[in-house]
Copies of this chain bind each other. A is one copy, B any other.
Amino acid sequence: AYVLLHSIPRVIDSSSTVPDLLSIFHEQEMTETVHETNGHGYLGTFVGKNGWLAILRVHSHGLVTVDLQCYEEDDFAQVDNLLNALESKLKVILNGNITRIKRLPALVRGAEVDRYWPTTDNRLVEYDMDQLVYEEDSAFQNIKILHSQQYGNALILDNDLNLAESDLAYTLAIMGSGRENYTGKEVLILGGGDGGILSEMVKQKPKMVTIVHIDQKVIDACKKYMRGTCGNILDNLKGDCYQILVEDCVPVLKKYVQEGKTFDYVINDLTAIPISMEPEEDSTWEFLRLILDLSIKVLHPSGKYLTQGNAENMTESLGLYEEQLGRLSCPVGFSKEVVCVPSYLEQWVFYSVWKK
């Protein structure tokens, strides 16, 4: 466990600050080492008999940081006492000169269940995952299902959080947020192996929904552990108004193009990073454009192509994606919408695309 503490005093003089703080470490019988920093302020490390490590830095520009490393099984009241003592002493020493003081929650490392799943724009966020429900490496990817107290089970593919049982908002958004009517329609879903879209769509009595999903193991895992998302729809790969093809979508799309088959809706629910790369695709963007182009080709002239884009903060990626839309073999128009998907901890952009 890690505990971090920092304060930003307006004025600081390490020669008067440090000795007073040292006494606190000495009381804990921690052994001090002062490090030579070549003019980068005071840096002391303190090691306790219990294996604790405290790092005290007094930076010349006024930042004081304290890190404390201890063990999960240690007495946390003792940890808090040490940090409280340091905080109080700092307040006394820097009386009136502290602009901010902040203690961060402990960072846990080496826990059985990993709780850190950074956002797409690489912010550190800690989840409330408490159990590894399932893990397997398929031929295509690493599949994990973790349980979260507030989000239910969450599907994680190659360490990328795909969807949690709480995330009906994702499913509704990629279906067009209630603006589309699927009754009697022909729909093609790329990816979508969690069954969320299918489960919602069959309620509207479509003519036929075809899902093309490459990874049987994802379907099996979701059928068993993501029932809050898929209900019982994955129990059968075929139903009155749907079929699930366990195949790579690229050859399937090519076959549809060749046959001249079209769909009223194509929903691209593939993971952001392609897991199957044909030789002709030399980059993620090439793959993405291939899928887009084939999808538009099998789209009925009055149909809609619906897809998830990226995190709202990934403005550059979103811009590049919209550039791709301008480079398709057929001119298209598009609209986008920002939606809050509960387990994502970042706003997400969804696209609707149509033929001009």
Interface residues of A (CB under 8 A from B): 2, 4, 6, 8, 31, 33, 35-41, 43, 45, 47, 49-51, 53, 55, 57, 59, 63, 65, 67, 69, 100, 102, 104-105, 107, 109-110, 114-116, 118, 121-128, 149-151, 166, 169, 311-313, 338, 340, 342, 345-347
Question: How distant is A345 from chain B, measured CB to nearest CB, in Å?
Answer: 5
A51 x B45 contact (CB < 8 A): no
A125, B41: Cα distance in complex, Å: 29
Q: When chains A and B are docked, how far (Å) is the Cα of A57 from the Cα of B340? A: 39
By a CB distance below 8 angstroms, the chain B residues around A125 are 123-126, 345
Measured CB to CB, the closest approach of chain B to A99, in angstroms, equals: 10
Q: Considering the complex, give the chain B residue whose CB is closest to the CB of A39.
A: B51
Instruction: Return the 9 tightest CB-CB contacts between A and B, nearest first.
Output: A40-B51, A63-B110, A123-B126, A340-B342, A105-B124, A150-B347, A124-B126, A6-B109, A35-B47
Pick from B45, B166, B340: contact of A33, CB under 8 Å: B45
Min CB distance, A174 to chain B, in Å? 16
Q: Given A107-B4, A125-B126, A342-B340 in contact, is the A37-B55 Cβ separation under 8 Å?
A: no
Number of copies of chain A assembled together: 2
Q: A38-B51, A118-B104 are in contact. Are A347 and B342 (CB under 8 A)?
A: yes
CA distance A122 to B108 in the complex (A): 13
Q: Determine if A53 and B53 form an interchain contact, defined as CB atoms under 8 angstroms apart.
A: no
Select A55's contact among B36, B40, B55, beta carbons within 8 Å: B55
Q: Which residue of B lies closest to A123 (CB)?
A: B126
Task: Indicate if the CB atoms of A105 and B123 lie closer than 8 Å.
Answer: yes
Residues of chain B with a CB closer than 8 A to A346's CB: 150
Beta-carbon contact of A47 and B37 below 8 Å? yes
A37 contact set on B, CB distance < 8 A: 47, 51
A340 to B100, CA, bound (A): 30
Measured CB to CB, the nearest residue on chain B to A60 is B51
Given contacts A124-B126, A150-B312, contact A65 B347 (CB under 8 A): no
Determine if A123 and B128 form an interchain contact, defined as CB atoms under 8 angstroms apart. yes
In angstroms, Cα B347 to Cα A17, docked, is 42
Min distance, Cβ A311 to any Cβ of chain B, angstroms: 8
Q: How far is the CA of A122 from the CA of B105 in the complex (A)?
A: 6
Asked whether A31 lies within 8 Å of B36 as measured between CB atoms, the reply is yes
Q: How far is the CA of A33 from the CA of B43 in the complex (A)?
A: 13
Q: Please give the distance in Å from A270's CB to the nearest CB on chain B.
A: 24
A118-B100 in contact (CB<8A): no
Are A123 and B127 interface neighbours, CB within 8 A? yes
- Measured CB to CB, the nearest residue on chain B to A341 is B340
Q: List the B side residues contacting A38 at CB < 8 Å.
A: 49-51
Question: Which residues of B have CB within 8 Å of A122?
Answer: 105
State whether A35 touches B53 (Cβ < 8 A): yes
Sample (8) of A-B pairs whose CB atoms are under 8 Å apart: A4-B109, A35-B45, A35-B47, A38-B50, A55-B55, A102-B116, A107-B107, A121-B128
When the two chains form the complex, which single residue of B6, B36, B166, B342 contacts A47, counting CB atoms closer than 8 Å? B36
If A53-B57, A65-B109 are given as contacts, then 19 extra A-B residue pairs at C-beta distance below 8 Å, sorted by A number, are A33-B33, A33-B45, A35-B45, A43-B51, A45-B45, A53-B55, A59-B110, A102-B116, A104-B118, A121-B128, A123-B126, A124-B125, A125-B345, A149-B312, A150-B347, A166-B340, A166-B347, A169-B340, A340-B340
